[in-house]
Structure 1
């Protein structure tokens, strides 16, 4: 049995805390896609840590953690992250497994990412420059190096061959930065990686399922960044939706049970791309300030706006969401009026569907307004103790989406999660 936790917006929904909350109920936490551009923020012993590649169950002693084949892995980031985790007294070697089919991010992938983004000028897509896109391009182009290749004596030869190919591309971009330091770090990190349990990920996870173990698949980024169904071309390079669990871990569709979708009580986006409900005014600035909306990985200020019901309903549909976790609901405590986008007006016509190419059309959000609750909810423990105005806001979203908000996060703490089952 596999349950899934994934983001329903443009990432940054607060999935790290939610996975951490549910982790004790599972035997295995598995990352199924994405790379070090994902930042899942956790608070351990009241200290903040951001995980980029290690699954969020690493702090639970009895929980196994698998980096699946759908992930692109940066050895340098992994090494640095393991050292941070060790600082909390965790033996990461004990419960961390890596699929041999996961692709590696090379120093030249990072250089290609930077060169490509610089060449786009005004049409930048907001890449985090971590090498994720080029690594996935090599994967689909059947050129990439995988974790399992580390165990092959011809690895260095394979690496040099791919590096030379990348260098030709970098020359075409007129990119001539010295990568020797990056390479030194990379090969040190490869040696570090050899200590891990490198496994046949698909056999490993299916064996656990056959033993009756409970598996939680942890998604990175958000559904609206999916390479097929997101706001293309302003998307990531992997399938961030629940279908990506099957290809990113090697599990069959019928093994998936619950799909738990995570959404903020409002909406944010980092980088370029369409954002119909964006507020480029004092209200948007207030959301950013109160919500501390700055990227966990990049530190970039996030664009902020009211919740987009059209996009959220679309994400629930394509993921088969069975329950929703609403995060950062306490941020809305400060506002006297709230809004929800319930439809788009595109070229004068009202629609409830996501347009094919959102950046080519003018979208006017159609709003439903709600009175704010102007009450501090951070200490509330039970749903029926929430302000009535807040419950009205939640109930409207439940009805609009046809999926229930089953949990409400009212602060960063592990215990600040209200059940609404």
Structure 2
């Protein structure tokens, strides 16, 4: 039995969904432990594209059980839309295949309205780059002890009282601060009555279910969203998400004790990307950046926004190893670098005569530092058809070895293309 956590090492969009899909075949349970529908996992299976925002991508395997943990926040309309889409593609989602934590919080219509209104009110240069999906306001209500949970849908009297209190406050802010029309109580209540009928059969105690699975020696795979530098505590604050994205939150976000985690796999894109605002020391504004963006298909799975592209940031990678206790690295999109004669890796930052081996916590400094690069030889061969590490071009193997040296973590998985089969599994974390 093993419990394995998958985390992003950069600013998200590293290809976690594909690696989760690969490792799901060895797992019995797949657990999403944080975030909301501001994240997107894109998978290509037998030429078909699947995009998941809330449901763990393990749902593509009919013999696995998927769990949405208490650390996730749920927009019922999005979740039910995903369930419907999967059913239309011949993959029925039943309570036997999916459990939603009764302790997970609900994204309400006023959350997304407040999110969009507050972002619009910020001056240019002060904007966070939020997706506008209500993630931040929902977490604010959760921490403020006024959130509405999935379990509240089982008692519509409790739900009604909470909704009335919260909507009164939200409407005050919308009308008085943001000059936006108020939301209608009856409309929201009727809408959520319908959601309750559909979601209540899926609601349960995820923590208890996982503890029983552990006692049966089942394999459990924990799936995170976003990336380490978007962590609310350890990322480039305030240009971060509203939850803890690092591996430690797999325990808090699903109700599993920390001593029951056996391995942490960090997903590291072979170059670096970022969506939205915030510091990005290795960002490229030249032809190379455009090439990476185009060849890598760098568009956000949730927003469709272009991703900013740059060289691999070894400082960010080292931060991720330290913060997540990463035991193995999955290097993705290595194929995108094919054709580059030279490849750069940032080893440290510098500013005003001082060097930095970690991302500065001061956001102005983080936005001002300059990367100090080392340069390695690239390779010209396309590698999408490669199925063993030994068949990779020598320069590609050298690049992987350099990443291992910098991070002090062994590469256990190499992705050479978007399809499920275009992956080299060098070491299986479920096989101790």
**For residues 373 and 45 of structure 1, do their structure 2 counterparts lie closer, same or farther at Cα, with a shift above 3 Å needed?**
closer
Q: 2:287 aligns with which of 282, 288, 294?
A: 282
CA deviation after TM superposition for structure 1 residue 197, in Å: 2.3
2:319 is paired with a residue whose SS is helix
Confirm or deny that 1:167 pairs with 2:171. Answer: yes
Match of 1:231 in 2: 236
Range moving further from structure 2, 200-209 or 375-384: 200-209
CA distance in 1, matches of 2:155, 2:200: 15
User: RMSD of the alignment, in Å?
Assistant: 1.6
**For residues 414 and 396 of structure 1, do their structure 2 counterparts lie closer, same or farther at Cα, with a shift above 3 Å needed?**
same
CA distance in 2, matches of 1:211, 1:175: 55
**For residues 186 and 240 of structure 1, do their structure 2 counterparts lie closer, same or farther at Cα, with a shift above 3 Å needed?**
farther
CA deviation after TM superposition for structure 1 residue 272, in Å: 0.2
CA deviation after TM superposition for structure 1 residue 100, in Å: 0.3
Q: 2:374 aligns with which of 359, 368, 373?
A: 368
**For residues 333 and 235 of structure 1, do their structure 2 counterparts lie closer, same or farther at Cα, with a shift above 3 Å needed?**
same
Provide TM-score, normalisation by structure 1: 0.97
Match of 2:219 in 1: 214
Match of 2:161 in 1: 157
Confirm or deny that 1:379 pairs with 2:385. Answer: yes
Match of 1:412 in 2: 418
Match of 1:302 in 2: 307
Q: 1:397 aligns with which of 403, 416, 420?
A: 403
CA distance in 2, matches of 1:188, 1:330: 48
CA deviation after TM superposition for structure 1 residue 87, in Å: 1.7
Superposed CA offset, 1:213-265 (max 9, x none): 11111000001100000000000000000111111011111000110010110
Match of 2:55 in 1: 54
**For residues 373 and 69 of structure 1, do their structure 2 counterparts lie closer, same or farther at Cα, with a shift above 3 Å needed?**
same
Match of 1:325 in 2: 330
Match of 1:353 in 2: 358
Superposed CA offset, 1:273-312 (max 9, x none): 0000000111111110111101111000000000000110
Confirm or deny that 1:88 pairs with 2:89. Answer: yes
CA deviation after TM superposition for structure 1 residue 201, in Å: 1.7
Match of 2:22 in 1: 21
1:142 is paired with a residue whose SS is coil
Match of 2:120 in 1: 118
Confirm or deny that 1:240 pairs with 2:245. Answer: yes
**Unpaired segments ≥5 residues, structure 2:** 428-432
CA distance in 1, matches of 2:45, 2:179: 41
Superposed CA offset, 1:114-134 (max 9, x none): 011111121111000010000
Q: Is the 8 A contact 1:66 1:96 kept in 2?
A: yes
CA distance in 2, matches of 1:177, 1:8: 40
Match of 1:138 in 2: 141
Q: Is the 8 A contact 2:281 2:371 kept in 1?
A: yes
CA deviation after TM superposition for structure 1 residue 189, in Å: 5.5
CA deviation after TM superposition for structure 1 residue 179, in Å: 4.6
CA distance in 2, matches of 1:185, 1:387: 60
CA deviation after TM superposition for structure 1 residue 202, in Å: 1.4
Superposed CA offset, 1:3-31 (max 9, x none): 10110000001111111111011110000
CA distance in 1, matches of 2:46, 2:76: 27
CA deviation after TM superposition for structure 1 residue 173, in Å: 2.7
Range moving further from structure 2, 11-20 or 352-361: 352-361
Provide TM-score, normalisation by structure 2: 0.94
Match of 1:128 in 2: 131
Q: Is the 8 A contact 1:76 1:185 kept in 2?
A: no
CA distance in 2, matches of 1:37, 1:111: 15
Q: Is the 8 A contact 1:337 1:370 kept in 2?
A: yes
Q: Is the 8 A contact 1:383 1:419 kept in 2?
A: no
CA distance in 2, matches of 1:205, 1:47: 31
2:376 is paired with a residue whose SS is strand
1:57 is paired with a residue whose SS is helix
**For residues 342 and 186 of structure 1, do their structure 2 counterparts lie closer, same or farther at Cα, with a shift above 3 Å needed?**
farther
Superposed CA offset, 1:345-373 (max 9, x none): 12211221221224335211000111110
CA distance in 2, matches of 1:89, 1:218: 24
Match of 1:11 in 2: 12
CA deviation after TM superposition for structure 1 residue 45, in Å: 4.1
CA distance in 1, matches of 2:169, 2:183: 15
State the aligned residue count: 421
Q: Is the 8 A contact 2:174 2:181 kept in 1?
A: no
**For residues 281 and 369 of structure 1, do their structure 2 counterparts lie closer, same or farther at Cα, with a shift above 3 Å needed?**
same
